[in-house]
Structure 1
Amino acid sequence: MKLESPKVSVNKSAQNTFEFLSDVKNFKSLMPENISKFEILGEDKFLFALKGMPEIVLKKKETTPPNQIVLGAAGGKIDFSLIGNISEIDENTSEVQLVFEGQFNAMMAMMIKGPINKFIETLATNMPTAISTVA
């Protein structure tokens, strides 16, 4: 299963956007309002839970400065990746698209497609404001 967020424009360079997304602490500012838990587990790992959903641990797996950051599930029952693709528009503007990829059986895919799609759209929508408030 592959889900893509809408592309969002950020008033920061690709490098600044990459640095923001490279710091897992910053993901707290991107989370939806219905977050019930957010915990930093290490320099490259965090845990979050949305109301009514199980806790998910994400770990930074791979980076390609300043164009891509790959977060992956760290443990748990499902294996997936959340990929941040960053494109430079000009020296002060970049564009970000989040991609969720995972292998699920048909029943699981049907159950999680809606909530995951809404989740990555929210992360993307919150990004321009969250990144702009960082110096």
Structure 2
Amino acid sequence: MHLESPKNTIGKSSKEVFEFLTEPKNFETLMPDNVDKFEVVNPDTFLFALKGMPEIALKKKEEVPFSKVVLGAASDKLPFTLTAHIAEIAEEKSEVFLSFEGEFNAMMAMMIKTPITNFIGTLSENMSRIE
């Protein structure tokens, strides 16, 4: 399953956006309002839970300086990645979008498509909060 957030323009350089997204604690700023739990587990991993949903642990899998940050499921039970694609469009302006990739059976995909689409959309919108 492949999902993408809308592209979002942020008033920060690609370097600033990249550095923000490579720091797990910063994702708390991007989370939706219905977050029940957020915890940094180690320098590369954080976990969170949305109300009524199980905890999800995300771990940094790959970094391409100033253009891409890949987070993946810390567990192999539900293998997926969440990738932030960053493109500098001016000195202090970047365009960012998120993509979600996961391999799920048809039933699971049908159940999680809408919540995940909403979740990555919210993360993307909240990137305007990057300081």
- Range class of TM-score, shorter chain: over 0.9
- Aligned residue pairs, count: 131
Q: Secondary structure, in 3 states, of the residue corresponding to 1:33? A: coil
Contact in 2 for aligned 1:30/1:123 (Cα 8 Å):
yes
Structural mapping, 1:29-48, within 5 Å: 29-48=29-48
Matched, 1:54 2:54: yes
CA RMSD of aligned residues (A): 0.7
Hey, what does 1:18 align to over in structure 2?
18
Structure 2-normalised TM-score? 0.98
Alpha-carbon distance in 2 for matches of 1:74, 1:10? 28
Q: Which amino acid aligns with 1:50?
A: L
Q: Secondary structure, in 3 states, of the residue corresponding to 1:53? A: coil
The unaligned stretches of length 5 or more in structure 2 are none
Q: Secondary structure, in 3 states, of the residue corresponding to 1:12? A: coil
Task: Tell me how far 1:75 sits from its aligned partner.
Answer: 1.0
Q: Which amino acid aligns with 1:114?
A: T
Structural mapping, 1:1-135, within 5 Å: 1-75=1-75, 77-128=77-128, 130-131=129-130, 134=131
Q: Which amino acid aligns with 2:10?
A: V
Q: Which amino acid aligns with 1:73?
A: A
Q: Which amino acid aligns with 1:89?
A: I
Task: Tell me how far 1:76 sits from its aligned partner.
Answer: 5.3
Alpha-carbon distance in 1 for matches of 2:39, 2:112? 23
Q: Which amino acid aligns with 1:3?
A: L
Alpha-carbon distance in 2 for matches of 1:77, 1:33? 26
Structure 1-normalised TM-score? 0.95
